[in-house]
Amino acid sequence: MERIERILLADSGIGNTEEMLKMLMDIPFVQGASVTVLHVVPPQVTTEEMTARLEAGGKILSQAVQNLGLDPQRVEAVLKQGDPKDIVVKMADEVSADLVIMGSRGLKRIQSILANSVSQYVFQLASRPMLLIKDDIYVKRINRVMAALDKSEASRDILRLAINFVRDIKGGQLILVHTNPEMKLKPGEISGNPEEDPVLVPAIAEAKRMGVSYKAIAPEGKPGERICQVAEDLNVDLLILGSPDRRPSIAKGLPDLDRLLGQSLSDYVRVYANCPVLLVRDPA
């Protein structure tokens, strides 16, 4: 992806999604994008309730467009009625979104299922890059972008995306991380030698080729915990990682309960990272 051209912002009227989009629009990689601001009104019991919710939704959209301050030619406000989970997934396809932005309460896996989490559902079913912003984090101007890499096919897309974000940011820094659960460090060491890490070596070469300022780290330990720790220690503003799509074709219309209940790396980071998380689907 050379440039983000179409963004779907699912705006519930609360949280930090609007502020996040304003930060993104300062980055050349994103600046020219058209934006669809979507607000969904769930079905109501009575006509009066539905009328009131639709009116309130219209006000939320109007306020969102005003807050964003975007070129009116490049923003569309859409008010829909229905199940928010299904509507967001459908709209992402309809507008061919290069990026879906959603808020998240940061609920853990079981809580997400019991609370019928919209972001968790969309995260499982959407095939497009998805940026999750937890309601309780402070959104900052993007300067340090972290790419959590592994041996998957998605890593190449993650690296390319991270470089595209950073390359035109004055003073921006790309942070390359590959965790190795089997690596044994000497006492006092916090990282292996990234110049010898088979995943980081080509990533470092690409960062150098593109003239991007970078820092490479190869920590040991459980990937989810270490990724979140590095992001916090280095005050990362945006974290990008892959999310494998392991859903069989027969289950494309259902949440992947195996990954909801299992030890998914992307699910762990989604819950515990203290910065916005951009998830990229593994093409495999």
Determine the structural domain holding residue 16 and report its residue range.
6-134
Number of domains in the chain: 2
In terms of domains, do 178 and 100 share one?
no
Predicted local confidence at residue 199, as pLDDT: 92
Looking at 99, 134, 169, the residue that finishes a domain is 134
* 3-class DSSP state of 278: strand
Predicted local confidence at residue 240, as pLDDT: 96
93 occurs within a structural domain: yes
Predicted local confidence at residue 20, as pLDDT: 94
Q: Hey, what are 73's tokens?
A: 């030619």
In terms of domains, do 164 and 122 share one?
no
139 occurs within a structural domain: no
User: What DSSP line would sit under 4-62, residue for residue?
Assistant: --EEEEE--SSSSHHHHHHHHTTSHHHHT-EEEEEEEEPP-SSHHHHHHHHHHHHHHHH
- Name the pTM for this structure: 0.85
pLDDT in tens, the chain (284 residues): 678 999 999 988 887 899 999 999 999 999 989 999 999 988 876 888 888 989 998 999 999 999 999 888 899 999 999 888 889 989 999 999 999 999 876 444 444 433 346 776 777 777 789 999 988 888 889 999 999 999 888 899 999 999 999 998 999 999 999 987 665 555 555 556 888 889 999 999 999 999 999 999 998 878 888 999 999 999 999 999 987 654 444 444 545 544 444 457 777 888 889 999 998 876 54
- Rounded Cα–Cα distance for residues 26 and 28 (Å): 7
157 occurs within a structural domain: yes
**DSSP code at position 42:** P
Residue type, 187: P
Q: Are 204 and 246 in contact (CB under 8 A)?
A: no
**DSSP code at position 189:** -
